[in-house]
Structure 1
């Protein structure tokens, strides 16, 4: 793996180019262009505020912010995995014609996803302050939480991007699985609302702890449970190692399969 990481570093200019291409093509041809990076989360927040403040009122104080703190990392998670599931096939010309570390393709999507998440924070943090939620020292835990999530997303993305080359229906199955996963992750509700006998099953979902950690530092203003977070860091590293091993095994025949 060390050798592969060194090789990836030597192709850093290609990685940078792919990331920039991903960011540019998201809104290519639209009138607003790159401004949609900020407008999308802003409009989403406006919709949540109207719907959950006037139509579907919740007992949770400042519910739009409660929801928005979780929606942003979930969007990063789901959009990256969905996009990576077809990334090899979408770049079949590159894969067949030139040599480069194939891991660059899913990695470029993840990095672009992280950048988009940061753009979402440009909307989230001022919105929290405007609604009376104060940002405090707990925000120092943000890099660790993001690191844990990014490792997890990369590991899963390596698996699905490689397997989809051989099993093309996987891309469509992933979309359905992600829709189902949304409802078994405490995004629209706190984990405390889940009956105690079922909470164990929710905690098997790694995104449960990650979403709760984000919500703790942004919404509640408290430090996350570091013992749980470090446990999920280990879990994410295991997923990454397995994902990398599967990807390296399957990538040998990418050109023939495509």
Structure 2
């Protein structure tokens, strides 16, 4: 059954891309800066956080600008993909009610839109690497794999949220609070070594913590990703995708009536 559904999604690949690219362009249609906002947004956030944490709180981390920017970009992707994905169903009532095709293509296209936005942000990151003369090592080969784990994790969460949001509109407010709390609970602004060992173990249970740490190690610090981290990221992202798909499939039959 799952293979049949995957084949069905493959048949709609052109529609998925058109929805993704169309939503991406729409987000910058009425913006004066247009696509350049994708580059400026993380820079503005980086500037504020860097001034606070490097000067006022005296965070001592090698290449802290890149350390911080990498965390911001990866977290922004999770935040955007789940936020856009959460409204993928409720935001298209006419299409859901009148046209039949796999409804999860809306969620998939939303996550691809967020990915496109993050890829634009990554341009800033690699410019910064060149400015600060940080060499790119062979360990960069791990980056696409880590990105796949991140995309899978975000897609699983987005599928669950999009389905739940059809029935329970409070989900969007709860998720917003969880994302704000998660930003500070994930090692985005600080390194793990400032935490007690017991707390480190708890923080590492968060898949985003491993994803961000592994991405920094492989891209900035030329360190290969550990097999333990790769296995954890694979297992956790797969579990979230399975749970998200199960929730979506269970609630999908009632979408048209509830919307």
Q: TM-score, normalised by structure 2?
A: 0.94
Deviation, 1:77, is 0.7
* Corresponding residue number in structure 2 for 1:109: 110
Q: Which moved more, 1:40-49 or 1:140-149?
A: 40-49
TM-fit CA distance, 1:42: 3.6
In structure 2, distance between residues paired with 1:184 and 1:210: 14
The CA deviation at 1:232 is 2.0
Q: Which residue of 2 aligns with 1:82?
A: 83
- Return 5+ residue gaps in structure 2 as ranges: none
What is the aligned partner in structure 1 of residue 234 from structure 2?
A: 233
Over the residues paired in the alignment, what is the CA RMSD in angstroms?
1.6
The CA deviation at 1:143 is 0.8
Aligned to 2:167: 166
- Quote the Cα distance in structure 2 between the aligned partners of 1:219 and 1:229: 17
44-53 or 159-168: bigger deviation: 44-53
* Offset at residue 43 of structure 1 (A): 3.5
Contact 2:81 2:158 survives alignment (8 Å) = yes
Which whole-Å deviations, capped at 9, do the CAs of 1:55-95 have from their partners, x for residues lacking one?
Answer: 55432233222111111111101111122122211111110
Instruction: Tell me which residue corresponds to 2:41.
Output: 40
Which stretch of the first structure deviates more once superposed, 60-69 or 40-49? 40-49
Q: 5 Å matches for 1:51-90?
A: 51-52=52-53, 56-90=57-91
Query: Residues 11 and 35 (structure 1 numbering): CA distance in 2 closer, same or farther, change over 3 Å?
Result: same
Kept after mapping to 2: 8 A contact 1:52/1:64 = no
Match of 1:150 in 2: 151
Residue 129 of structure 1 contacts residue 135 of structure 1 at CA under 8 Å; is this kept in 2? no
Q: Determine if contact 2:20/2:110 at 8 Å carries over to the other structure.
A: yes
Does the CA-based 8 Å contact 2:153-2:241 persist in structure 1?
yes
**Is contact 2:53–2:189 with CA below 8 Å preserved after alignment?**
no
SS of alignment partner, residue 222 of structure 1: coil
**What is the TM-score normalised by the length of structure 1?**
0.94
Shift of 1:35: 2.2
Structure 1 stretches of 4+ with a deviation exceeding 3 A read 42-57
Q: Are the equivalent residues in 1 in contact too, given 2:20–2:109 (CA < 8 A)?
A: yes
Instruction: Give the structure 1 partner of residue 26 of structure 2.
Output: 25
Kindly indicate whether residue 214 of structure 2 is the aligned counterpart of residue 207 of structure 1.
Answer: no
- Runs of 5+ consecutive residues of structure 1 not aligned to the other structure: none
Q: 1:195-251, CA deviations, whole angstroms, 9 ceiling, x for partnerless residues?
A: 112122111111110010111022212111122212220221122112112111111
Residues 169 and 34 (structure 1 numbering): CA distance in 2 closer, same or farther, change over 3 Å?
same
Tell me the distance in 1 between the aligned counterparts of 2:67 and 2:238.
29
Task: Give me the whole-angstrom Cα distance separating, in 2, the residues matched to 1:46 and 1:189.
Answer: 15
- Aligned in 2, Cα 1:163/1:127: closer, same or farther, shift over 3 Å? same
